A and B are shown apart, each in its own frame.
Chain A
């Protein structure tokens, strides 16, 4: 069991000392062998060992490194971006990944501002369709509005992972 799981904490290197200590104290209070009900010595020992490992920032950094290193569990190597153009399957995979993380990027960015931009673009597009229906200029102006939304809305998204 990894030490983060043993303390019921997410595996993150940026946990604070207070968070780790609070998690340990909660588990220790519930499982200590001196409890009237006998506690849970095995669980207590596990939590104590995990706390000893995670109590310092360096320890957390090490434990996190062990979890994410190529040899360790939860392998997540950094994506390598080659210099030249990508082959189509890799391009498709990257596009899929980019689309997949779009909701999270919106949520962690400035969703209200983005929504305002989207509403403005949508309302103006509706206005265009109402004012010049069936005219060749209508799709052109709507293209312009979409271009504006895409170019200005990018800043409202959170950066993609590891960027």
Chain B
């Protein structure tokens, strides 16, 4: 074989390959032109998906929603012809080609639309899915950076679409059908099913949920939405819900948040929403005596080592004072009165063993009384009653965890104990309960979150915990993992600088990565594709999220959401105009009175009124 013949064969083969490829493309173009109504619909669907960042499933569902059109068309054909026959698509298509005017083309499109629209949208879904696959695996795109550029651009478009979706008043109500809580517009899903509005079943709030996000990341909006959604769902299900919120940071922001929560819960149907300690009180003296003794013991900081001796004495004294035969104390003053040797001996006079213990501890009693007097004085009257958790539909507790951590810790212990008591009260009505602790890290030194979780789980209380960062979830890495890994209601991650540990809980997924062989400065037509592992919830994406965007991690899948600001339905509290002044009977003017107009300043007569 000569060189010339080899060259000839090579050229012929090259020409054949090119000709086959050209023929294929021409055939495809001819098909696209011939089936132009389908092509037109597919192109429109593809461009819409590209511009709005829709996933292919969105186009697939649009195609499914277009099927009733086809069904009506077929039904109309049968009704017209009184018999079943194949739709006259060909005739209508041919008619369109005979008169190539704009009006004729529109008419042809309309005649073929019942078949062309579902087919076109389905085709667009397939093409869009292929495009995403090709780009993400690296077999498509002109440049090596195509996957990154494509992903960044699609994220921007998906976020913009989600923002537009949550702006619609009815798109994200407080409660959707089936008891699901709408959270916001879906930006992107990895592993979860895609829906335009992301919802979580309200039962998820009845389990354990973790929310991590920096200040100003939209955490409050998310939490209030979840509370209101859970409350509405539980109320609709007739579960008599009780929401207990611990705002452990306190401060002025907490008051504003409490007020907002109250308005929203009223809109959701709550009748009584109590804000503690500003407007409502609780009594911890209603607790069962044994529990009360343990709680009071825990509320005072006790040391270990040599101090354990005094701790034991204190516990013994508390048990004697609270479980006395005369019954438990009814308030702080009565309790402090009991921390007295004469009182204890008198109360236990008929019980020699306990009376002897009281005598033995007599010299420590003034110290113990002083400690509890100080503690109860710092706690203030808000835990001294009257009132129980069962009195309201929702309680918002403001603990000054930033200003007075030790007081807030003691208060948090008391409140969680009261919540546990309410949940297990055999005489109370069964209620669904959600205990939400916002910025719990401020008070978690003495009541670790994991304890709260475990108690909540055993009592059937849903526990929702929020922190500003991964490190705020607990004092040690072990504690943090124990909290996050047991959050079976899901983990919400908002903008935070260190999301890796939380993102790791979503796991990894298998992705394809293609390496291209370079020939000179351009890609050659050879390369390899291999399987790799990638984050399910990409920490870099989480780190770059805007305010109001959140990532929900559950069961090895993640969904990125644009959280909608919670608003009650305006129809729940129908706005009524406030009348200028109600009609009142005008008394007859007395003729003997000296004319004296209303004083210019009403405060002179009525006092300054309520402080604003």
- Where the two chains meet, the residues of A that have a C-beta atom closer than 8 Å to any C-beta of B are 8-10, 12-14, 17-21, 23-32, 34-40, 43, 51, 55-58, 61-62, 64-65, 68-69, 78-81, 83, 101, 104-105, 108-110, 128, 131-132, 135-141, 143-144, 147, 151, 154-163
Q: Tell me whether A155 and B165 are in contact (CB under 8 A).
A: yes
Of the stretches B129-137, B233-241, B288-296, B465-473, the one at the interface is B233-241
Q: Tell me whether A158 and B606 are in contact (CB under 8 A).
A: no
Tell me the bound Cα distance from A69 to B106 in angstroms. Answer: 61
Interface pairs (15), CB distance under 8 Å:
A14-B267, A37-B589, A55-B610, A58-B275, A68-B271, A105-B571, A140-B70, A147-B65, A147-B69, A154-B170, A155-B171, A159-B174, A161-B571, A162-B232, A162-B235
Q: Tell me whether B569 and A161 are in contact (CB under 8 A).
A: yes
Q: Tell me whether A131 and B80 are in contact (CB under 8 A).
A: no
Q: Tell me whether B590 and A38 are in contact (CB under 8 A).
A: yes
Please name all residues of chain B whose beta carbon is closer than 8 Å to the beta carbon of A31 when the two chains form the complex. 584
Q: Tell me whether B274 and A58 are in contact (CB under 8 A).
A: yes
B15 within 8 A of A: no
B612 within 8 A of A: yes
Please name all residues of chain A whose beta carbon is closer than 8 Å to the beta carbon of B193 when the two chains form the complex. none
Please name all residues of chain B whose beta carbon is closer than 8 Å to the beta carbon of A78 when the two chains form the complex. 235-236, 238, 269
Q: Tell me whether B612 and A18 are in contact (CB under 8 A).
A: yes
Other A-B pairs, 7, CB within 8 Å; known A29-B598, A159-B173: A8-B578, A26-B580, A30-B584, A61-B266, A143-B72, A156-B170, A158-B169
Please name all residues of chain B whose beta carbon is closer than 8 Å to the beta carbon of A158 when the two chains form the complex. 169-170, 569-571
B26 within 8 A of A: no
Q: Tell me whether B598 and A157 are in contact (CB under 8 A).
A: no
Please name all residues of chain A whose beta carbon is closer than 8 Å to the beta carbon of B305 when the two chains form the complex. none
Q: Tell me whether B168 and A40 are in contact (CB under 8 A).
A: no
Please name all residues of chain A whose beta carbon is closer than 8 Å to the beta carbon of B594 when the two chains form the complex. 36
Q: Tell me whether A159 and B170 are in contact (CB under 8 A).
A: yes
Of the stretches B107-115, B424-432, B449-457, B480-488, the one at the interface is B107-115
Tell me the bound Cα distance from A19 to B612 in angstroms. Answer: 11
Tell me the bound Cα distance from A58 to B281 in angstroms. Answer: 12
B327 within 8 A of A: no
Tell me the bound Cα distance from A147 to B582 in angstroms. Answer: 48
A23, A58, A131, A155: the one contacting B107 at CB < 8 Å is A131
Q: Tell me whether B169 and A61 are in contact (CB under 8 A).
A: no
Q: Tell me whether A163 and B174 are in contact (CB under 8 A).
A: yes
Are A28 and B171 CB-contacts (below 8 A) given A19-B578, A132-B107? no
A27, A36, A83: the one contacting B595 at CB < 8 Å is A36
B72, B79, B238, B268: the one contacting A162 at CB < 8 Å is B268
Which chain B residues in 386-421 approach chain A with CB under 8 Å? Answer: none
Please name all residues of chain A whose beta carbon is closer than 8 Å to the beta carbon of B79 when the two chains form the complex. 136
Q: Tell me whether A157 and B65 are in contact (CB under 8 A).
A: no
Q: Tell me whether B587 and A58 are in contact (CB under 8 A).
A: no
Q: Tell me whether A8 and B581 are in contact (CB under 8 A).
A: yes
Q: Tell me whether B576 and A10 are in contact (CB under 8 A).
A: yes
Please name all residues of chain B whose beta carbon is closer than 8 Å to the beta carbon of A23 when the two chains form the complex. 578
Q: Tell me whether B69 and A144 are in contact (CB under 8 A).
A: yes
Q: Tell me whether A57 and B584 are in contact (CB under 8 A).
A: no
Q: Tell me whether B117 and A27 are in contact (CB under 8 A).
A: no
Please name all residues of chain B whose beta carbon is closer than 8 Å to the beta carbon of A139 when the two chains form the complex. 72-73, 76
Please name all residues of chain B whose beta carbon is closer than 8 Å to the beta carbon of A36 when the two chains form the complex. 589-590, 593-597
> Interface size on B (CB < 8 Å)?
81
Please name all residues of chain A whose beta carbon is closer than 8 Å to the beta carbon of B143 when the two chains form the complex. none
Nearest CB on A from B391, distance (A): 10
Nearest CB on A from B159, distance (A): 18
By beta carbon, the residue of chain B nearest A28 is B606
Are A69 and B271 CB-contacts (below 8 A) given A25-B609, A80-B236, A137-B113? yes
Please name all residues of chain A whose beta carbon is closer than 8 Å to the beta carbon of B609 when the two chains form the complex. 21, 24-25
By beta carbon, the residue of chain B nearest A9 is B578
Tell me the bound Cα distance from A150 to B162 in angstroms. Answer: 20
Q: Tell me whether B569 and A144 are in contact (CB under 8 A).
A: no
By beta carbon, the residue of chain A nearest B176 is A163
B352 within 8 A of A: no
Please name all residues of chain A whose beta carbon is closer than 8 Å to the beta carbon of B279 when the two chains form the complex. 56-58, 61
By beta carbon, the residue of chain B nearest A143 is B72
Tell me the bound Cα distance from A131 to B96 in angstroms. Answer: 13
Interface pairs A-B: 6 shortest CB-CB? A58-B279, A155-B168, A8-B582, A159-B173, A136-B76, A140-B73
A39, A80, A144: the one contacting B66 at CB < 8 Å is A144
By beta carbon, the residue of chain A nearest B174 is A163
Q: Which of A12, A61, A159, A161 is most buried by chain B, counting CB atoms within 10 A of its CB?
A: A159
B376 within 8 A of A: no
Tell me the bound Cα distance from A24 to B590 in angstroms. Answer: 25
A14, A17, A28, A137: the one contacting B266 at CB < 8 Å is A14
Please name all residues of chain A whose beta carbon is closer than 8 Å to the beta carbon of B278 when the two chains form the complex. 58
Q: Tell me whether B280 and A162 are in contact (CB under 8 A).
A: no
B605 within 8 A of A: yes
Please name all residues of chain B whose beta carbon is closer than 8 Å to the beta carbon of A51 when the two chains form the complex. 610
Are A109 and B169 CB-contacts (below 8 A) given A140-B72, A160-B569? yes
A10, A19, A128, A161: the one contacting B572 at CB < 8 Å is A161
Tell me the bound Cα distance from A40 to B588 in angstroms. Answer: 10
Please name all residues of chain B whose beta carbon is closer than 8 Å to the beta carbon of A30 when the two chains form the complex. 581, 584
Nearest CB on B from A67, distance (A): 9
Q: Tell me whether B587 and A40 are in contact (CB under 8 A).
A: yes
Nearest CB on B from A108, distance (A): 4
By beta carbon, the residue of chain B nearest A106 is B170
Nearest CB on B from A132, distance (A): 5
By beta carbon, the residue of chain A nearest B264 is A14
B273 within 8 A of A: yes
